[in-house]
Amino acid sequence: MKSFELVYLVMEPFLLPLHREMRSRIRAAVRERRGNALLLDVGCRKSHYTIGTGARVIVSDLPRTSDLQHALHLGADAGVIAAVRRRRSNVLGYVLNDLTESCFRDNSVDVVVAVEVLEHVDDDEKFVAEVAKALRQGGCFLMSTPNGDELTRVTNPDHRRHYKKRELEALLEKHFDFVRVEYGIVGGKSRMLGLRSWSVRHPLQTLLSMGGNVVNGFLSRRADVASRAQGTQHLLATALRL
């Protein structure tokens, strides 16, 4: 394991609760596949979610070409790919690819992860179909997306839509044998603090952000959060190809 990965694991308690929740789900999916899973991480640039999960990782993302992508730090360029290769020990490859026109073989991966990706995709139906095709029998698709039951207005210029829980369930059920969609991550002051960037030049802001993430993580672990349509920021989905 490389030094960057070790530092990331040490800092994990202070990361955004969404990061921690998705990492927990990824680790569980990898363990169920006896720790030798081939994982496709779609649209996650540097793929921090997959550090130390025990999976062998392939990252797939769009090339960063447009002004909007540069402004919002979307997609990947040579610098992003170089950073991943330098910092990561479990990333086998990096593919610049639109998954709706997938270059991945059918039945070739064990787990697919898409964290805050589907809302950016024009042809979401084709995207989900390609994910299902790429998964082996028994494979698992883990994803998150903004909660459209709470976030009814789409303000991000690169978001195509926000799904309500039932809408996301219906989309996934067309292509998967088992689907579970839950609400996750409560909103409020602690979440807003946690979204502030970290910087050695701004230590107070960094400490406030870390503290906000700790508090928000505690609040988001309450048992009723998974069924709370209002006051939660994300939909968290697990879909299986049986």
What 3-state DSSP class applies to 177?
coil
- pLDDT score at 126: 94
DSSP H stretches of helix in 40-113: 67-72, 78-87
pLDDT tens digits for range 88-111: 999 999 999 887 776 777 888 999
Query: Can you tell me the distance from the alpha carbon of 106 to that of 23, in angstroms, rounded to the nearest whole number?
Result: 25
pLDDT tens digits for range 109-143: 999 999 999 999 999 999 999 999 999 999 999 99
Mean pLDDT of the chain: 94
Query: Can you tell me the distance from the alpha carbon of 131 to that of 102, in angstroms, rounded to the nearest whole number?
Result: 9
Pairing state of beta strands 232-241 and 135-146?
Answer: antiparallel
| Domain 3-184+232-241, CATH | 3.40.50.150
Angle between helices 203-220 and 17-32 (to 10 degrees): 60
Residue 75 banded pLDDT, cuts 50, 70, 90: confident
Cβ 138 vs Cβ 107: under 8 Å: no
The pTM assigned to this predicted structure is 0.94
Q: Within 10 Å of residue 173's Cβ, how many Cβ atoms? A: 14
- Where in the chain are the domains? 3-184+232-241
DSSP string, 9-59: HHTGGGS-HHHHHHHHHHHHHHHHTTT--EEEEES-TT-GGGTTSS-EEEE
Cβ 109 vs Cβ 139: under 8 Å: yes
pLDDT tens digits for range 170-182: 999 999 999 999 9
- pLDDT score at 227: 97
Pairing state of beta strands 135-146 and 109-115?
Answer: parallel
